[in-house]
Amino acid sequence: MKLATFATQSGADADQPRVGVVSDGQVHPFPLELTMRDVVGRGIDAARQSGDEALAAHGHPLADVRLLAPLRPTSVRDFVAFEEHVQGVRQAVEGTAGVPDAWYDAPTFYFTNPHAILGPHDPVPFPATCAARDLELEVAVVVGKAGRSLSVEQARDHVFGYTIMNDWSARDLQGREMQVGLGPAKGKDFATTLGPWIVTADELEPSRDEDGFLRLWCAVSVNGVEIGRDLLSNMGWTFEAMIAYASRDSRVEIGDVLGSGTVGNGGCLGELWGRRGAQDPPPLAPGDVVTLTVDGIGSVSNVVAVAEPAPRLPAARLRDPAVARKAAAS
């Protein structure tokens, strides 16, 4: 089942976000008061019942609605589960070859901004100071139940569904700020695309291989030219393992989104830059159209844009801490 958040273009409820089930080129709305967070929290069985009821009523052609981000996440963790991606992008961003030994120990992640979520066709406002604009082709899992210190087996019951994720990246900003040792910040938190909808976990079960990975082809194109293609099953860990790790000595909550990390074999420009030793293909330019497609889920397509310049910040104040403490104590 495909569940979308959308807005109609006209009528009494125009521009009001609605949740519905997508079928045969139409989206059939659920009751007005339901948000996607509500639907996810009620579970797949309840969602299917609501979907069956909605399918019996009036639907809107997808061409007549605006698809929004399917979910406003409770939080967003982005993992780095593809070894091939680590090899290439580490060379591009840090100038360092190989994969850190620590990568093999656990499915590492960072937190990104749940307040900068874009829909499947929204323009992407890159920072005005960014020149090395990049994309990242990922699949994200949506958590349907809260839990703490889950086992991988328990985490299976916490998967509600999946969506496509583009973790847009300002590589020049990222490369500089990561020298401080805290990971990406302004190089990442300006925009994350989710969409076009959430596909419930049961629909993708036939794609599981013998080790529990989803064998789905993922592809990315820029202005209609494919630059990367990989199997989602080339991940180092399953989504259940990532949920289990995220919950370790902590919590996952209903509506949390966990990104797979960027697929290999050209899932982002940065990987290709690292492998080729040059920005080939070139960084994204304003007006470029980036399309991500994942078998069994769908496609998202966004136009690259540039945000208005942000106000300038002062440089760090430099002082001798020992002298300051001595002066304050006297």
Average pLDDT for 51-67: 93
Cβ(77)–Cβ(110) under 8 Å? Answer: yes
pLDDT tens for 117-137 read 999 999 999 999 999 999 999
Cβ(303)–Cβ(287) under 8 Å? Answer: yes
**CATH hierarchy code of domain 76-306:** 3.90.850.10
- pLDDT of 289 > 70? The answer is yes
**Which helix (H) or strand (E) element contains residue 79?**
strand 76-79
- pLDDT of 12 > 70? The answer is no
Q: Strands, E, within the chain: which ranges?
A: 2-8, 18-23, 26-29, 60-61, 65-67, 76-79, 109-112, 117-118, 124-126, 133-134, 137-143, 159-166, 169-170, 192-200, 217-222, 225-231, 257-259, 289-294, 298-306
- pLDDT for res 6: 97
- pLDDT for res 57: 87
Q: How confident is the model at residue 182 (pLDDT cuts 50, 70, 90)?
A: confident
- pLDDT of 92 > 90? The answer is no
Domain ranges of the chain: 2-67, 76-306
pTM as predicted? 0.96
- pLDDT for res 97: 77
